[in-house]
Amino acid sequence: MSIPEIVASKPWFGFDLDDTLHEFRRASANASACVFETIHASNNKTSVDILRNTYQDILRNATANAFTDGRTSSEYRRERFGRLLQAHRLTDDSLLGHLLEVYQGSLRKSLTLKSGALHLLQTLRGLGKKVIVITEGPADAQEWTIQKLGLQFYVDVLVTTNEVGKSKVDGMFGIVLEKYDIAAEDIVYFGDNGIRDVRAAREEGILAVLYDEKQQSCLHDVSTLRVDSWAVVEKILVHRE
């Protein structure tokens, strides 16, 4: 069989969530910008650019464990925004609570599906395929995202690092396969990160495909499989080409 035929034959289709099925970086950046503007409005001595730089440093350290410690999204955000305020000698508890509301509200407004993602999931449902989302992040946040994007009707299983206590590069895929009784040869997995998604999945024997909108699709070599749009996968499913 050709690679497109092999992909189309899989009974399970797995996906990363953030920046694979929806525009997470864009939504998160917009929400964070609203937080910085809110802090600046309360204390105009601190510029938005300085706040952004401080927050980026906080994020680099705070996400190192890939959300494996079981805390909620509110707890993570409260810690980060609290550290941001402390870094600039702002210790207003009421402001911190307001920032959490600002971030969540902006994130909700900014959530956007990747082009073709919903139609692809609908096609998979129509073909009787099983869909599993394997993603890093707090369980409550990813469940909320799935619901707000209207994907809950098309996702059979959602697994987060909170649930299994391991990141993708530390064995998450193997745990998921065992827990949900999925044979590695029965699933194809799509993700936007070459290391955390593709390489980690391939190490467990999963056929993994990089989702990369900036590079042309490659469907002739298993070791370098990638697609640049969900329309490509749709074509594979419908036409096997």
Share of residues in the chain with pLDDT > 70 (%)? 97
Q: What span, in angstroms and rounded, lies between the C-alpha atoms of 167 and 96?
A: 29
Quick: pLDDT tens for 87-133: 998 877 788 999 999 999 999 999 999 999 999 999 999 999 999 99
Residue 225, phi then psi, degrees to nearest 5: -65, 130
Is residue 190 scored above 80 in pLDDT? Answer: yes
Cα-Cα-Cα-Cα dihedral sign, residues 160, 162, 165, 169 = positive
The pLDDT assigned to 213 comes to 96
For residues 213-239, average pLDDT: 93
Question: Of all helices (H) and strands (E), which one includes residue 87?
Answer: helix 73-87
Q: What is the pTM of this model?
A: 0.92
Strand order across the 187-191 sheet: 157-160, 130-135, 12-15, 187-191, 207-211, 226-227
Sequence letter at residue 205: G
In sequence order, what E strands does 9-85 have? Answer: 12-15
Answer whether residue 241 shows pLDDT above 60: no
CA distance 107 to 200: 29
Place of tokens 């909170």: 162
Average pLDDT of the residues of the chain: 93
pLDDT band with cut points at 50, 70 and 90 for residue 155: very high
Pairing of strands 226-227, 207-211: parallel
Q: Which fold has domain 3-23+112-239?
A: Rossmann fold (3.40.50)
Cβ atoms of 134 and 189 within 8 Å: the answer is: yes
Q: Distance (Å, rounded) from C-alpha 156 to C-alpha 149?
A: 15
Quote helix, strand, coil % in the chain, to nearest 5: 55, 10, 30
Q: How far is CA 18 from CA 5, 47, 79, 104, 146, in A?
A: 27, 29, 21, 16, 10
